[in-house]
Structure 1
Amino acid sequence: MDFRIADTFTDSLARLTGEEQKLVKTTAFDLQMNPMNPGMQLHRIEQSKDKHFWSARVSRDLRLIIHRTEASFLLCYAAHHDRAYRWAERRKLEVHPTTGAAQWVEIRERIEEIIVPSMPLPAGASTGTVPSPKRALFADRPDSELLAYGVPADWLTDVRSITDENELLSLADHLPSEAAEALLELATGGRPAFAMAAVTGASPFDHPDAQRRFRVMHDVEELERALDFPWDKWTIFLHPAQRQWVERSYSGPARIAGSAGTGKTIVALHRAVFLARSQPDNRVLLTTFSDTLAHALHDKLRRLISNQPRLAERLEVLSLNAIGQRLYQAQVGPARVASEDVLRELMQSAWDECAAKLNGMKFSPSFLFSEWEEMVDAWQLDRRESYRDIKRLGRKTRLSESQRAALWQVFEHMQRKLADRGLQTWAGLFTQLASAQSRRVAAGQAPAFDHVVVDEAQDLSVAQLRFLSALAGGAPNGLFFAGDLGQRIFQQPFSWKSLGVDVRGRSRTLHINYRTSHQIRIQADRLLGSEVSDVDGNSEERTGTVSVFNGPTPIIRLFKNEDQETHTVANWLRARISEGLPVRDMAVFVRADAQMDRARAATELAGIAYTVLDGRLTALTAMPGMAPDELNIATMHLAKGLEFRAVAVMACDDEVLPLQERIESIADKADLEEVYNTERHLLYVACTRARDWLLVTSVEPGSEFLQDLQDVRLAT
């Protein structure tokens, strides 16, 4: 008999209190050890249409719903008595007649009414006007096509009656996920692939669509790992659209793209594990551009392979700077990397020494430093001719040949000062390390890593990508990138192809958003364009993305003063707690440290304990049962890679978004576009950390970006 858990069980477990979860887990472990144990007080649920549903007593009021047959024992749902029984009475487990996948089918006759939000009347229309009948969205789709998408036969009539987006979203909550996703994609002009046909003789639970909701638990350790992180369903259930890119073989560098919430990080994690498991003699590096995100990746990987220590021995998770420093020490020698403060000090000194030779040219210190950082140092230019000829992609300020020649004197002084002090930059370190890798390959030496998987790849620097190309760029399945151009907030755009990393033909975009509600995604997407392209012409189409669940409409409010904002955010946080949301599943984000006091004030007024997240995300990486039940506060830059059930984005004021300091640092108005783009991306990142609830607030006049999110109204 196979012992399985369903994603509905892990979802229901996450809604219980900590003590209730412990009781349910104990019962689940006992059932796995002996599913037929008479002491478990199993009772058949007679009211259910599916006669295989049973109830197991957990406590006086808690019940665990089980689906039991001769071949399978399935944990389905856990809740208090009445809610648990209602869940079982409204569902049945069926094998789809066309796809052959096992799926939950909601009992149609028990859905008394699917509530559809009423649409506002068009401007100028009177209540007495009789509207013309709407055409059904799927009127021309034959039954065979709808069935091939996984729509249950019982629901064909309801699907055919859908006339608008609101009806579709309401109905989607009652359909199996593969059917809901296909219908949403059809409604938005896409062409969904038909569900994979069943393999003759195969178990309906082995179908790719069934594996996204049912999974066999082979032992107590595997079950314990699944139940320790009930909200992180990705550790157990992987979407078929993600799995195909995880397990594919690539002839060269490959990239997975997609908007926030489409599972790029999940694909990267599973790709790294897949490579380590399928290539038992190879070493795999899972990396990203910052220590903060590397710590978050390490925590997720620990959840994914905690019971496979031998796999972990060949799979390392480090930030690029950390692995770069380690390899440099081993292959080149000691490294002394200058801090940003030291670099700025040296640049000012170089400018002062050269000022008399610059014929009165005036450049701001911030422009001078960014020109050094993003062009001269990033590309490791060592001759005046190289600086004269380089294409300054991402740098909007035009410089004549004479201006470049004058500026080169400053940069040459800068390079000399670094050499005199025995210092180097990160760009210099990675460039030398790339040369070292090339020499190792030429000498026939084994690379430090056979495969490299990179998360948040849109924020890689020029030198980091040059290093990765030398490390594993020439091998099949050597480089795998996951990222979103719409979330680029740290780096200027540049050509990957020019550095030997060409992903054309091996770049795919994920379109299924399972983390962020439809309402949040729709509003956050208004901050960005419908399509984003990189310098090499690879495009990421964002309009085809669909979210597969509904949620409350995001709230965006403008206040007369900070006191009003503080009280509103505090009341909103208290409301989430009153609805049963754990405090640890909530977060408050602000633009920078200067606004942190406003986040603290709102949280303290709500009477909620909180943690200010640091670069190591310590509060989020504790072991199960040890993480503090505290709200998380952080700046928007630390939001990358995180997710919460409820998020408040505070202090989105004018001169905060975009940050006035960045505006004032611009030497030429032409450079404003890049600043505005990255500031938009930053707000997008913060808003899309929310799964179910989103609140965005500011004090008037408010950031101009809020008007893009929606028509903001002043709170009274």
Structure 2
Amino acid sequence: MQFCIADTFTTSLARLTGDEQKSAKTTAFDLQMDPAGNGMSFHKLDRAKDPNFWSVRVSRDIRLIVHKTAGSLLLCYVDHHDKAYQWAERRKLEVHPTTGAAQLVEVRERVEEILVPKYVEDSRPATQQKPKPFAKYGDAQLLAYGVPQEWLADVKAADEDSLLELADHLPGEAAEALLELATGGTPALPEVATKGADPFQHPDAQRRFRIMSDMDELARALEYPWDKWTVFLHPAQRQLVERHYNGAARVSGSAGTGKTVVALHRAVHLAHQDEDARVLLSTFSDTLANALCGNLYRLIWNTPKLGERIDVAAMDALGIRLYAAEFGKPVFASRDEISTLLKATATQVDGLKANVAFLLSEWEGVVDTWQVESWEAYRDAKRLGRKTRLPEAQRALYWQVFAEVKKQLKQAGKITASEMFAKLTEAMSKRKHPVFDYIVVDEAQDIGVQQLRFLAAIAGDRANALFFAGDLGQRIFQSPFSWKALGVDVRGRSRTLNINYRTSHQIRSQADRLLGPEVSDMDGNVESRKGTISVFNGPEPTIRSYADAEAECQAVGVWLQQCSTSGVLPQEIGVFVRSESELSRAQAAVKAAGLQGRVLGRDMATEEGFVSIITMHLAKGMEFRVVAVMACDDEIIPSQVRIDTAADEAELTEIYNTERQLLYVACTRARDQLHVSAAKPASEFLGDIDLLQK
């Protein structure tokens, strides 16, 4: 008998308490061992529209809903008795008449319109009807997009106000196609199954149903039910994961579209395909690398030998490890140390007039980033992105400073991270056998110039050797530069994910106002946010400014307390601030809510029973049901400290862009509810999203 698990089951399982989940999992394992359910308490659901729905007793009050036929058993849902029955009474399992995909279809509740005779004419002007975007489509066209037959009339009658509510009741492929049509897009038609094909093997069915081949696979699916998208892949994601690429490839998409999931599955897929391959799964920070490690474990914990061939490491940590093996353990010069050397050296150069901030900016943006080693190279440097014009005579004076600082660092036996990767690039290009056969990089928008050169040197010209996942709109650390100029050309092999699973339509659409409709890199690759679709609804974000910080803390505390009262668990709440200086405001708000808070360290490990308090830079990779973004005051974001260090207009623009993107990252960590607040005067960014309520 075929044993399957639906994503609706893993989602409902996550809402139960820890003890309830354990009992439900035990029952699920028992059912897989004996799908006939001998000795188990099955109950026929008399009011269910689908005659194959049964309930299975888990405990006194918990019921598991299964769909049972002679050849298959599907785990569908689990909840307390009444809620479980209500769910089953509103669903049925069908094979779509056009696509052939198995769908859990919500039963259409038909309410007959009652006609009331008109005895008095209404003198009020008629309300102008809003356009119905799908009225022009025929049944066959809508069916081709996966719309269930009994929902065709509702789809044709929907207007822009009712569309999102309607989408919540439809299978994923139908909802996504309709939302894309409504926003001017042309969605790809789902695959049509051949006659007699297994409806559970259809690509759209595989995004919501998983056939379990053994106990270990079921255990893996149930181990982390709240992160179902590490198990269930959307067809568009699966195509990117399994595709063959002749050169470097990149998948992009706004926050919540599943880029990290694609990167994880890509690494696993490559390791599966080539049994002797070494795969690197990397990202730009230790914090995100730790998160990748945990997510990878969720996918491959029952195949440890596979894990032995997938190396998960942050870029700098990997560089240090390889550098130590090639040259010995590196000793790094700190930013403050370099600033001090620049200041001291500048005083010794006759005729030089430059502040330390500009020298440090020029060092970091040109000399160190591009590893400029000679006066000729510095003289001819294109200085990408830097608008301050430097006459050759002025550059010559600056180079005296930079050359002397380089000399002193070398005498002290110290290097920078960029220098480390530059030396590794040279070493890697000389190796007969590469240290990694395949490289997958998550959050690729924040890797640096020398890091990219290093990766390209390892990959060479091999097919499938380089795969990047990232979002230009979330770039918060690195200045933009041309990948193509460094030998990494993703043109023609760059794809954008536009289905958002993590963030509600209301939160996503408001957060997107912080960015432009399109973001492009320096090679002309354009990432459009116009076609991004969120697949579920939620309340509008709350954005407020308050008289002072104390009033803000009290108000946010009330909001957090209301969320908690409505059933949101403390560990499902995140409170973000711009920097460590504002952490005390977040802590005060959590305390005002009567909740316990914990400032997360770089391991980013949340703790049951505690609200997570985090700086925005550490928010990458996190997700919470409820998020409060606090202390968005003027001079805090964008940071006045950073603004004061801007050496020229170009650098000032770059600071504003990355600060704006930082706030975008924080806001898009929220799944269901978002509260953004400030003490007056508020950040100009809040006004930019046109929601600031005085």
* Aligned residue among 230, 245, 266 for 1:250: 245
Q: For the residues of structure 1 that align with 2:259 and 2:140, how far apart are their CA atoms?
A: 32
Structure 1 contact 13–230 (Cα < 8 Å) conserved: yes
Q: For the residues of structure 1 that align with 2:111 and 2:7, how far apart are their CA atoms?
A: 21
Q: Which moved more, 1:319-328 or 1:666-675?
A: 666-675
Deviations 1:525-545 (A, max 9, x none): 000001111111111111110
Cα displacement (A) at 1:708: 1.6
Deviations 1:24-68 (A, max 9, x none): 122212222222234321001011110000011122221111110
What is the match of residue 231 of structure 1?
Answer: 226
Q: Secondary structure at the match of 1:552?
A: coil
* Aligned residue among 673, 676, 679 for 2:653: 673
Q: For the residues of structure 1 that align with 2:429 and 2:512, how far apart are their CA atoms?
A: 42
State, as a whole percentage, how many aligned pairs show the same letter: 60
Q: For the residues of structure 2 that align with 1:129 and 1:713, how far apart are their CA atoms?
A: 32
Structure 1 contact 590–599 (Cα < 8 Å) conserved: yes
What is the match of residue 466 of structure 1?
Answer: 453
* Aligned residue among 140, 155, 159 for 1:144: 140
Structure 2 contact 386–648 (Cα < 8 Å) conserved: no
Structure 1 contact 613–632 (Cα < 8 Å) conserved: yes
Q: Does 1:261 align with 2:256?
A: yes
What is the match of residue 568 of structure 1?
Answer: 555
Structure 1 contact 473–501 (Cα < 8 Å) conserved: no
Return the TM-score normalized by structure 2.
0.97
Cα displacement (A) at 1:109: 2.7
Q: Which moved more, 1:336-345 or 1:519-528?
A: 336-345
Q: For the residues of structure 2 that align with 1:563 and 1:152, how far apart are their CA atoms?
A: 52
What is the match of residue 287 of structure 1?
Answer: 282
Relative to structure 1, the CA distance from residue 179 to residue 111 in structure 2 (aligned partners, 3 Å threshold; closer, same or farther) is: farther
Residue type at the aligned position of 1:406: L
Residue type at the aligned position of 1:346: L
Cα displacement (A) at 1:661: 0.3
Structure 1 contact 397–668 (Cα < 8 Å) conserved: yes
Structure 1 contact 252–473 (Cα < 8 Å) conserved: no
Relative to structure 1, the CA distance from residue 341 to residue 224 in structure 2 (aligned partners, 3 Å threshold; closer, same or farther) is: same
What is the match of residue 318 of structure 1?
Answer: 313
Deviations 1:450-500 (A, max 9, x none): 000001111111000010010104110010000111111111111111110
Which blocks of at least 5 consecutive residues in structure 2 are unaligned?
114-122
* Aligned residue among 341, 354, 359 for 1:346: 341
What is the match of residue 643 of structure 2?
Answer: 663
Q: Does 1:495 align with 2:487?
A: no
The residue correspondences of 1:27-106 to structure 2 (distance < 5 A) are 27-106=27-106
Structure 1 contact 253–473 (Cα < 8 Å) conserved: no
Residue type at the aligned position of 1:584: Q
Cα displacement (A) at 1:110: 5.7
Q: For the residues of structure 1 that align with 2:135 and 2:302, how far apart are their CA atoms?
A: 50
Q: Does 1:438 align with 2:429?
A: yes
Q: For the residues of structure 2 that align with 1:410 and 1:484, how far apart are their CA atoms?
A: 37
Relative to structure 1, the CA distance from residue 327 to residue 360 in structure 2 (aligned partners, 3 Å threshold; closer, same or farther) is: closer
The residue correspondences of 1:619-698 to structure 2 (distance < 5 A) are 619-620=605-606, 627-698=607-678
Return the TM-score normalized by structure 1.
0.94
Residue type at the aligned position of 2:416: T
Deviations 1:203-240 (A, max 9, x none): 10011100111101222222222222111011221011
What is the match of residue 362 of structure 1?
Answer: 354
Q: Secondary structure at the match of 1:109?
A: coil
Deviations 1:533-589 (A, max 9, x none): 111111111111010100111100110011221111111112222122221111000
Alignment coverage as a number of residue pairs: 686
Q: For the residues of structure 2 that align with 1:60 and 1:339, how far apart are their CA atoms?
A: 61
Structure 2 contact 482–523 (Cα < 8 Å) conserved: yes
Deviations 1:664-701 (A, max 9, x none): 11233443211110100000000000111100010011
Q: Which moved more, 1:331-340 or 1:522-531?
A: 331-340
Deviations 1:622-671 (A, max 9, x none): xxxxx533211110000011111111000000000100101111233443
What is the match of residue 206 of structure 1?
Answer: 201
What is the match of residue 478 of structure 1?
Answer: 465
Which blocks of at least 5 consecutive residues in structure 1 are unaligned?
114-126, 621-626
Structure 2 contact 385–650 (Cα < 8 Å) conserved: no
Q: Does 1:305 align with 2:296?
A: no
The residue correspondences of 1:134-213 to structure 2 (distance < 5 A) are 134-164=130-160, 166-213=161-208
What is the match of residue 117 of structure 2?
Answer: none
Cα displacement (A) at 1:610: 2.1
Q: Does 1:382 align with 2:373?
A: yes
Structure 2 contact 48–90 (Cα < 8 Å) conserved: yes
- Superposed structure 1 runs of 4+ greater than 4 Å apart: 110-113
Q: For the residues of structure 2 that align with 1:473 and 1:604, how far apart are their CA atoms?
A: 54
Superposition RMSD in Å: 1.6
Residue type at the aligned position of 1:277: H
Q: Does 1:416 align with 2:407?
A: yes
Residue type at the aligned position of 1:464: Q
Q: Secondary structure at the match of 2:519?
A: strand
Q: For the residues of structure 2 that align with 1:43 and 1:465, how far apart are their CA atoms?
A: 59
Q: For the residues of structure 1 that align with 2:256 and 2:490, how far apart are their CA atoms?
A: 22
Q: For the residues of structure 1 that align with 2:195 and 2:421, how far apart are their CA atoms?
A: 53
What is the match of residue 18 of structure 2?
Answer: 18
What is the match of residue 363 of structure 2?
Answer: 372
Structure 1 contact 332–433 (Cα < 8 Å) conserved: no
Q: For the residues of structure 2 that align with 1:172 and 1:687, how far apart are their CA atoms?
A: 23
Q: Does 1:332 align with 2:327?
A: yes
Structure 1 contact 473–500 (Cα < 8 Å) conserved: no
Relative to structure 1, the CA distance from residue 474 to residue 12 in structure 2 (aligned partners, 3 Å threshold; closer, same or farther) is: same
Cα displacement (A) at 1:111: 7.6
The residue correspondences of 1:573-612 to structure 2 (distance < 5 A) are 573-612=560-599
Q: Secondary structure at the match of 1:633?
A: strand
Cα displacement (A) at 1:375: 0.8
Structure 2 contact 361–647 (Cα < 8 Å) conserved: no
